[in-house]
Structure 1
Amino acid sequence: MLTVATLLWDPNEASLPFSRCYDESWVRKLHDGFDRHLKQPFRFVLFTDRDRRLPAHIEQVRMKAKPPDYSSCIEPYRFGVPMILVGLDTIITGPIDHLANYCLNASTIALPRDPFMPSRACNGVALIPEGQQHVWRNHRGENDMEWMRAQDHVFIDDLFPGQVQSFKGHVRDRGLADTRICYFHGEQKPHQLPHVPWIAEHWR
Structure 2
Amino acid sequence: MITVACVLRSGGRYDASWAEKLRNGVARHLTAPHRFVCLTDTPREVEAAGIEAIPLPEDWPGWWAKMCLWAPAAGLTGRTLYLDLDTVVVGSLDAIAAHPHRFSMAHEFYRPHLLCSTAMAWSGDWSRLYRAFAADPAGIMARYDGPLPGGRIGDQAFIEDCLSGDKVDTFRDLFGERSVASYKVHRCEAGPPADAAVVAFHGKPKPDDLKTGWVPDAWA
Name the TM-score class by shorter chain: 0.7 to 0.9
Q: Secondary structure at the match of 1:200?
A: helix
Residues 139/25 of structure 1: CA separation in 2 closer, same or farther (3 Å cut): same
Q: Which runs of 5+ in 2 are unaligned?
A: 141-153
* Alignment partner, residue 115 of structure 2: 121
1:56: how far off? 7.0
Q: Is the 8 A contact 1:30 1:91 kept in 2?
A: yes
* Alignment partner, residue 42 of structure 2: 50
Kindly tell me the number of residue pairs found equivalent between the two proteins. 192
Matches of 1:48 and 1:73 in 2, distance apart? 10
CA RMSD of aligned residues (A): 1.9
Q: Which runs of 5+ in 1 are unaligned?
A: 12-19
Q: Is the 8 A contact 1:81 1:132 kept in 2?
A: no
* Alignment partner, residue 8 of structure 1: 8
Q: Which structure is higher in RCO with an 8 Å CA cutoff and minimum separation 6?
A: 1
The reply to whether residue 192 of structure 1 matches residue 209 of structure 2 is: yes
1:66: how far off? 2.2
Identity among equivalent pairs (%): 28
* Alignment partner, residue 181 of structure 2: 165
Matches of 1:60 and 1:158 in 2, distance apart? 32
The reply to whether residue 149 of structure 1 matches residue 160 of structure 2 is: yes
Residues 146/56 of structure 1: CA separation in 2 closer, same or farther (3 Å cut): same
Q: Secondary structure at the match of 2:205?
A: coil
Normalised TM-score (structure 1): 0.86
* Alignment partner, residue 101 of structure 2: 106
Q: Is the 8 A contact 1:165 1:171 kept in 2?
A: no
Matches of 1:186 and 1:160 in 2, distance apart? 24
Q: What is the letter of the counterpart of residue 80 of structure 1?
A: T
Q: Is the 8 A contact 1:9 1:49 kept in 2?
A: yes
1:81-92 aligned within 5 A: 81-92=78-89
